[in-house]
A and B are shown apart, each in its own frame.
Chain A
Amino acid sequence: MLHRLQFTAKKLVRMALLLLGVSLTAFLLMDASPLDPLQTNVGQAALGAMSPDQVAKLEDYWGVNTPAAERYLGWLSSALRGDLGTSLLYRRPVLEVVGQRLGSSLWLLLFAWAASGALGLAFGLIAGTHRGRWPDRLIRGFCLTLSSTPSFWLALLLLMVFAVWLEVLPIGLSVPIGAAAESVTLAQRLRHALLPALTLSVTGLSNIALHTREKVADVLDSDYILFARARGEGHILRRHVLRNVALPALTLQFASIGEIIGGSVLVEQVFSYPGLGQAAVSAGLGGDMPLLLGITVATAALVFGGNLAADLLYGVIDPRIRRGAART
């Protein structure tokens, strides 16, 4: 037990250091950017028309004149107190914007995460158990094509087919245009989230399927499967293959969090879905550094959190770790 606690504590410290590294890297990259936030947001013409006083006030607002180190330390100390600054575009606290956008993306992300994991596992199992035969060739070809397809183009295709050509699904957004948030029904929400969720599910699928296939192939080539066959065992797939593929599948599933979030940036942009990914693009294009920094740190936290969860679950599921730890 003590061993597990130590392990968890070590992982947590590492995660905190990594988050610190991510925030510093992101901050330095933004600081290095030659793009002038004033010009991007106010515009050359408007700037020219302003008095030096007004320009100075704006420069203060966008933080142009403070040294980088001071700004980072300032950001860090308030971040540790739970204040990630104020979004320049939305003029609201970053934490609030991130929270609200994440809330709107969450179902999309969760659905895509679960769907790509489940389908990927199923495809990987089918392909791995039919190695070299047509189901395997079919799935491998499908996965190769999928992983070679840019998700935003797939989104465009789906839009063209379902929204423009067949006119069965809406063009985008999370709710019908002009509808008040309270009056939107669940059915409407689902209809609007269907295409984005579908596109996003496909993003992570091929990676999980192909890796699962490799693992299944490894397991099927193992001595213990040969022995199970030599003993005339039935249900080898359920009894041995699934059991031994479960752990790698778990790792793959949690490792795909980053990919799903990355994909959501593109998919939300195409479908004008007001989620975290779309906010990241707006923040980047608009020079909203505090928001972009906040989003980067938040997504990194999700990814590292996923890794941590996988590590901890491993300790619970894998008898070699569970029992090994109990003995020492």
Chain B
Amino acid sequence: MESILTVEQLSVSFTRYSRGLARTELSAVRDLSLTVEPGRVTALVGESGSGKSLLAHAILHLLPRNAQVSGTLLYDGAPLTRDRAETLRGREIALIPQGVTWLDPMMKVGPQVRRGRVDAASRARCREVLDRYGLGPQVEELYPFELSGGMARRVLIACAVMERPRLIVADEPTPGLDVRTAKRILGHFRELAEEGAGVLFITHDLELALTVAHKLVVLYEGQTVEELSPTRFRAGEGLAHPYTRALWHAIPENNFL
């Protein structure tokens, strides 16, 4: 299948000051490669600090200025340059971020979902997407601080699907949610994939990734060490890297060995 996003040997490093007068290069992502196909959910699994959020920011060209990026990013077969990313983001590529802090605290939900547009079509579309996630008209009049954790995530998903994107990058969209709510949110991702979008689901939670993903990519210390299907992972087949094996053993039902 033709992939919508291809990442090859991506590396991201930062310049920062450490103790004393020294200035060091901190490499956060060293060798990250993966592909995302339309209609499928690709899960990138890694523990916190393994640099997985940087991938989302690199795809959207949102990294801070002191970041050095190398490697290849292809979207729909063509290089994803900064200019191209700037025209695509919000239209074809959508980000679903972590939580409520990603909403402007001083602006009501409605205008935020609509990105400030007030025409009838935008209003109707906004109503439609909020409705789809069970958020009634009164939610449009709320400020972010008045939303519960689950509501905030659904608002963020609504923001992403406003423009019918072809690639959705979800960056740790579930922490702080109870398992039922988290599963429901993940169900929405699966739905979006079934409608034809490519979904990149970035998480540290292996079990959640297993429930939703078509494909599993394991990130360890800034490197992708394994790519396999959830079924193969569950069966414990062909786990090449020691970290992946450790992950497999960390799942309670595999521990009887």
Contact = CB atoms under 8 A, between A and B. Distances in A.
Contacts of B104: 224, 228, 239-240, 243-244
Contacts of A224: 101-105
A246 B107 CA distance: 13
B48 to A, nearest CB: 16
A246 B102 CA distance: 19
Contacts of A223: 97-98, 101-102
B95 A231 contact: yes
Interface in A192-234: 222-224, 226-233
Contacts of B102: 223-224, 226-227
B125 interface: no
A231 B105 contact: no
Given A224-B105, A320-B145, A231 B62 contact: no
Contacts of B101: 222-224
Given A224-B102, A224-B104, A231 B159 contact: yes
Contacts of B60: 229-230
Contact of B91 (A232, A239, A246, A247): A232
B150 to A, nearest CB: 18
A30 B89 CA distance: 67
A243 B94 CA distance: 24
A323 interface: yes
Interface size class of A (residues with CB under 8 A): 20 to 34
Contact of A231 (B57, B94, B146): B94
Contacts of B105: 224, 244, 320
B115 interface: yes
A230 B143 contact: no
B242 interface: no
Interface string A57-90: 0000000000000000000000000000000000
Label chain A's interface by main secondary structure. Answer: helix
Contacts of A230: 60, 62, 89-90, 94-95, 97
A25 to B, nearest CB: 39
B106 interface: yes
Nearest to A243: B106
Nearest to A240: B104
Contacts of A247: 106
A235 interface: yes
Interface in B62-104: 62, 65, 86-91, 94-95, 97-98, 101-104
Nearest to A327: B146
Given A223-B101, A227-B97, A232-B89, A323 B116 contact: no
A231 B115 contact: yes
A52 interface: no
A227 B95 CA distance: 8
A320 B103 contact: no
Interface of B: 57, 60, 62, 65, 86-91, 94-95, 97-98, 101-107, 115-116, 143, 145-146, 159
27 contacts: A132-B65, A223-B98, A223-B101, A226-B62, A227-B97, A227-B102, A227-B103, A227-B159, A229-B89, A230-B89, A231-B89, A231-B90, A231-B94, A231-B95, A231-B159, A232-B87, A233-B116, A235-B116, A239-B116, A240-B104, A243-B104, A243-B106, A243-B107, A318-B106, A319-B143, A320-B143, A323-B146
